[in-house]
Amino acid sequence: MRIHRYGPHIFHTQSNAVWEYLCRFTEWRPYTHRVLAEVEGRFVPVPFNLESLSALMPERLARRLETKLLLHLGLGARVPVLRLKEHADADLRFLGDYVYRNLFEGYTLKQWGERPEALDGSVTARVPVVVSRDSRYFPDPYQGLPRDGYTALAARLLSHPNIRLLLKTGAREAMEMVRWKRLIYTGALDEYFDRRLGALPYRSLRFEWRSEQGTEAQPAAQVNYPNSGGATRSTDFGQLTGRSNPFTTVAWEYSKACDPRVDEPYYPVPRDSSRELADAYRQLARQEAPDVIFAGRLADYRYYNMDQAVARALQVYEGLCP
Ligand code: UDP
């Protein structure tokens, strides 16, 4: 059975160009991601939607809040929880506070070591409150998993006579071994400059893996734990990538601050102070490394989804080979 060593990666995009590009390197296993969160002992859909509302609130209150959501926001609206908390309508503010406390506050503290308001609003806006019964995690028209896995996709991408692959080689070392005029660097932005202006913060992850026997190890491919236990979420890879025997593998995910000497950087930390430091590094890049193009989640220091990382790569290519 296929697992994702670095946590669940579900490919999803709205972009025809990105989808068509990747279709050159893979076929897809059709897959629609659905997530449940454990809230007050129940499993409810995330993003929080009208189903989650009915599951958690007494019936009359749920109906009243649903009417308010439809009236003030409209069917299909997707509103960040931090905005719902500030809504002019008192009932919607109440709902915003409820969703914040039960789904976002604890999860965000575990994931980032920060409260939601301390981070850029775009972080929690990734998972808005949804005014519909659509329980898909991503609304994008294209979603799926590479049929033969991401490793095979990457291997096909790299299989080109002009590409030479050097593994287990640091960026500095490679830059000395190869003659180059333009360089595309996808490592961590601060690492390129030996963290001269200070270390940019990253979050890292630790996984606990367990094999389980039975039909389904948990009620959805991904379960989030906003207010219970130490893990942020667990993923049943059998439900994600498919399985052919009675066993499945579940990964429990724990977040931690990244110590660059020992940990893998997973997430840039979107907040004002780190944006300013990243900007200072970008300024340094313009002065000291004009022939280097910085691109990717770590080198741009941006919380890209996979499709955004691909779009960025295509944009760099267009710039170099118009
Ligand atoms: N989030 C949350 N509760 C949830 C799901 C998400 O508080 O049940 C917040 C949390 O801050 C998280 C962010 O929304 O880091 C983005 O979630 P997403 O699922 O996009 O994170 P990723 O898959 O990139 O780790």
Average pLDDT over all residues of the chain: 97
The domain 166-200+263-320 is placed in CATH, from the list 3.40.50.720, 3.40.50.620, 3.30.1360.180, 3.30.70.120, at 3.40.50.720
- DSSP code of residue 103: I
pLDDT tens digits along 57-108: 999 999 999 999 999 999 999 999 999 999 999 999 999 999 999 999 999 9
Structural domain boundaries in the chain: 46-135, 166-200+263-320
pLDDT tens digits along 180-189: 999 999 999 9
Return the ligand 1 atom nearest residue 119 CA: 11
What pLDDT is recorded for position 220?
A: 97
Spacing, Cα 291 to ligand 1 middle (Å): 36
Spacing, Cα 173 to ligand 1 middle (Å): 36
Return the ligand 1 atom nearest residue 35 CA: 8
Can you tell me the mean pLDDT for 166-181? 93
Which residue minimizes the CA distance to atom 13 of ligand 1? 124
User: Amino acid letter at 61?
Assistant: L
Burial of 156 (0-12, 13-18, 19+ CB in 10 A): middle
> What does the DSSP assignment read for 9-20?
--EEES-HHHHH
**High-pLDDT (> 90) share of the chain, %:** 97
Q: SS3 helix, strand, coil % of the chain, rounded to 5?
A: 40, 20, 45
Return the ligand 1 atom nearest residue 104 CA: 7
Distance, CA of 242 to CA of 3 (rounded, Å) = 10
What pLDDT is recorded for position 189?
A: 98
Asked whether residue 215 carries a pLDDT value surpassing 90, the answer given is no
Q: Is 129 in the pocket of ligand 1 (CB under 6 A)?
A: no
Q: Is 103 in the pocket of ligand 1 (CB under 6 A)?
A: yes
Asked whether residue 148 carries a pLDDT value surpassing 90, the answer given is yes
- DSSP code of residue 201: P
What pLDDT is recorded for position 86?
A: 98
Q: Is 35 in the pocket of ligand 1 (CB under 6 A)?
A: no
Spacing, Cα 222 to ligand 1 middle (Å): 12
Contacts of 179 (CB under 8 A, 6+ apart): none
In terms of Cα–Cα distance, which of 79, 161, 159, 74 is closest to 126?
79
Spacing, Cα 127 to ligand 1 middle (Å): 6
116 and 271 in contact (C-beta within 8 Å)? no
In terms of Cα–Cα distance, which of 318, 293, 270 is closest to 111?
270
Question: Among 43, 117, 126, 302, which residue has the most ligand 1 atoms within 8 Å of its CB, making it the best to mutate?
Answer: 126
Distance, CA of 57 to CA of 51 (rounded, Å) = 10
268 and 200 in contact (C-beta within 8 Å)? yes
240 and 30 in contact (C-beta within 8 Å)? no
Distances (CA, A) of 82 to 61, 104, 126, 225, 300: 21, 10, 12, 20, 26
Encoding tokens for residue 190? Answer: 């601060």
What pLDDT is recorded for position 214?
A: 79
What pLDDT is recorded for position 73?
A: 98
